[in-house]
């Protein structure tokens, strides 16, 4: 049973704004700081994995692996954070009563416009730049987030036979 509460749309839009603010904060980090943080997380995961699996890799091999994983993870994180924004935006649009393809269009517009402004913002952050590849990842992540929520709100209901 769905809960209908008058605050649901407001809270849904608040979640969208919180996500946008989180993306803004992440994008505000200078590239060296951001890279150092993500590399630290990847290094912890690799170190733990090497210990648990007792993998016999040398220290230089381990750091090469860390660098490779970090590079891929940083690229895909654009998609992941915008996937979350897509989920939240589609939910907020649906909670506000918009349905069908119009809901997808509004949600995608929110995500794409924010993706563009995020890339422009990064022009002013040390070590960052406007990158088309990041914008493409943002857009793909947004679509991947929007579609399942749209499907849940707009799924085809099979009518029982008379």
Q: Which residue has better confidence, 67 or 155?
A: 67
Cα angle 41, 45, 49 (rounded to 5 degrees) comes to: 170
- Alpha-carbon gap, residue 107 to 118, rounded angstroms: 16
Please state, in angstroms and rounded to a whole number, the distance separating the CA atoms of residues 93 and 108: 10
pTM: 0.83
Share of the chain above pLDDT 90, in %: 74
Domain borders along the chain are 35-154
Mean pLDDT for all residues in the chain: 90
**Segment 87-111, tens digit of pLDDT:** 999 999 999 999 889 999 999 999 9
Per-residue confidence (pLDDT) for residue 75, from 0 to 100: 82
114-123 pLDDT, tens digit per residue, is 999 999 999 9
100 burial class (0-12, 13-18, 19+ CB within 10 angstroms)?
A: exposed
Provide the pLDDT for residue 3.
Answer: 61
């Amino acid at each position: 049973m769905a809960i209908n509460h008058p605050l649901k749309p407001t809270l849904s839009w608040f979640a969208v704004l919180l996500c946008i603010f989180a993306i803004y904060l992440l994008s505000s980090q200078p590239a060296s700081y951001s890279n150092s943080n993500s590399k630290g997380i990847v290094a912890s995961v690799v170190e733990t994995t090497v210990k648990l699996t007792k993998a016999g890799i040398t220290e230089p091999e381990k750091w090469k692996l860390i660098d490779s994983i970090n590079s891929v993870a940083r690229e895909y994180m654009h998609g992941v954070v915008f996937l979350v924004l897509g989920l939240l935006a589609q939910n907020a649009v649906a909670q506000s009563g918009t349905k069908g393809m119009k809901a997808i269009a509004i949600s995608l517009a929110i995500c794409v416009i924010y993706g563009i402004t995020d890339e422009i913002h990064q022009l002013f952050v040390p070590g960052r730049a406007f990158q088309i590849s990041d914008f493409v990842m943002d857009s793909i992540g947004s679509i991947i987030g929007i579609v399942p929520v749209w499907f849940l709100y707009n799924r085809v209901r099979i009518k029982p036979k008379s």
